[in-house]
Amino acid sequence: MPGHGNGTGDDAAPRLGVAVVGAGYWGPNLARNFAASGAWDLVALCDLDLDRASRLARSVGRVDVVGSVDDLLARDDVDAVAIATPARTHHGIVMSALRAGKHVVVEKPLAESGVQAREMVDLAQEQGLVLMTDHTYCYTPAVQRIRELVHDGVLGDILYIDSVRINLGIVQPDVDVLWDLAPHDLSILDFILPGGLRPVGVAAHGADPLGAGKACMAYLTLPLPDGAIAHVHVNWMSPTKIRQMVVGGSERTLVWDDLNPQQRLSVYDRGVDLARRGGDERAAATVSYRLGDTWSPALPEREALAAMVDEFAASIRERRAARTDGHAGARVLGILEAGSTSLLQAGTLVKMQQSDDKVGMVA
């Protein structure tokens, strides 16, 4: 049962106990936000490097330091674990944690492959535990608002999404530009689209004009059901930095310019309308235009990780899936895998299966 502490029947829900595994790059951010949250007691930090863990522990207050995951998972005061270790270790640690009855949130990517991810998802389901992917970007005020606008129907039906994420970037040693940058776009698309991102196929075109041994720029095309389309442009070689997503709807179109703090979101009441003449066999269409107002909603200032940590607690308490759950992480991985396959096949469209909890390439 959630709440390791005093089952006092107070009005306020008892705090949940959480431990952070991994005190490297991302762990400190998680630890700081769990420590600051009213929903959580940060009870332990776990890292093979005890020195590093101890330094982190001192900076966030009184927290136990543990050197072994097994010891950590054996503790009763740990309701949940947050995993910020290298991606190759995610599968093993998550499976152990779930078997030990702990809720889990995992830094992205959820695992190294879609197959691993689906195993983790299945086990969490069997155990009745929350498995959440830390798609941090989804918890920024801008993306939260975009999700609301889409889900509330303000944009109408989604017709197309065009996302550009380019800058002068580090040529990563271990991954290509697709796996480095596109996870952000894909996790956001999965978050804002009702039902998640479920393309009918994936085509990816890339180039390595520097001879770096991997794609340094890529275009990802995702035909969606009902004739819509999503497209992602990622590039490490652009002299200018662009972070822009256009979400085109039948009613309104939203432009998110993440580098314009003065007007991050713009909702355009503009578009093309197609009125069909009835009764006519050839259904001649009359096109008209709307050139309405533009509206820029104000956004609150809030750290994304604080909202992520709250959602993790809420999903556990309310016994529901987290908004960026294991399925979401698995869907993103499945699309990246299909993208890599398409890259190797000169951009051929890789078909995706659409069963409810499995997303992946058609075998």
- Cβ of 288: how many Cβ atoms within 10 Å? 9
Rule CB under 8 A: is residue 321 a binding residue for a copy of itself?
no
Among 268, 324, 331, 360, contact with a copy of itself (rule: CB under 8 A): 268
27-36 helix and 304-317 helix, angle to the nearest 10 degrees? 70
Rule CB under 8 A: is residue 54 a binding residue for a copy of itself?
no
Stretch that binds a copy of itself, among 24-32, 72-80, 121-129, 271-279 (CB under 8 A): 271-279
d(CA 243, CA 3): 40
Rule CB under 8 A: is residue 171 a binding residue for a copy of itself?
yes
Helix (H) or strand (E) holding 337: helix 326-344
Among 269, 303, 341, 361, contact with a copy of itself (rule: CB under 8 A): 269
Q: Which is nearer to a copy of itself, 78 or 161 (CB)?
A: 161
Q: Which is nearer to a copy of itself, 130 or 215 (CB)?
A: 215
Which pair of structure tokens corresponds to residue 325?
A: 């759950």
Rule CB under 8 A: is residue 246 a binding residue for a copy of itself?
yes
Rule CB under 8 A: is residue 362 a binding residue for a copy of itself?
no
Residue with tokens 């695992």: 111
Rule CB under 8 A: is residue 258 a binding residue for a copy of itself?
no
Rule CB under 8 A: is residue 87 a binding residue for a copy of itself?
no
Is the peptide bond between 109 and the residue preceding it cis, with omega within 30 degrees of 0?
Answer: yes
Rule CB under 8 A: is residue 285 a binding residue for a copy of itself?
yes
Q: Going residue by residue from 177 to 206, which x/- string records binding to a copy of itself, judged by CB under 8 A?
A: ------------------------x-x-xx
Q: Residue 178 Cβ, how far from a copy of itself at the closest point, in Å?
A: 14
Q: Binding residues for a copy of itself, how many (CB under 8 A)?
A: 66
Q: Which is nearer to a copy of itself, 9 or 194 (CB)?
A: 194
Stretch that binds a copy of itself, among 33-41, 76-84, 282-290, 308-316 (CB under 8 A): 282-290
Task: Report the DSSP pairing between strands 253-257 and 229-235.
Answer: unpaired
Sign of CA dihedral 236, 238, 242, 248: negative
Q: 56 vs 21, 50, 60, 73, CA distance in Å?
A: 12, 10, 7, 20
Among 295, 318, 353, 362, contact with a copy of itself (rule: CB under 8 A): 295
Residue with tokens 């004739």: 227
**Size of the chain, expressed as the number of residues it contains:** 363
Q: In this structure, which amino acid lies at residue 255?
A: V
Q: Which residues pair with 82 in a beta bridge?
A: 20, 105
Residue with tokens 């294991």: 326
Stretch that binds a copy of itself, among 117-125, 133-141, 264-272, 320-328 (CB under 8 A): 264-272
Which pair of structure tokens corresponds to residue 206?
A: 């890339």
d(CA 303, CA 318): 23
Footprint of a copy of itself on this chain (CB under 8 A)? Answer: 157, 159-160, 162, 168-171, 201, 203, 205-213, 216-217, 219, 221, 223, 226-229, 231, 233, 235-241, 246, 248, 250, 253, 255, 262-263, 266, 268-272, 274, 285, 287, 289, 291-298, 346-349
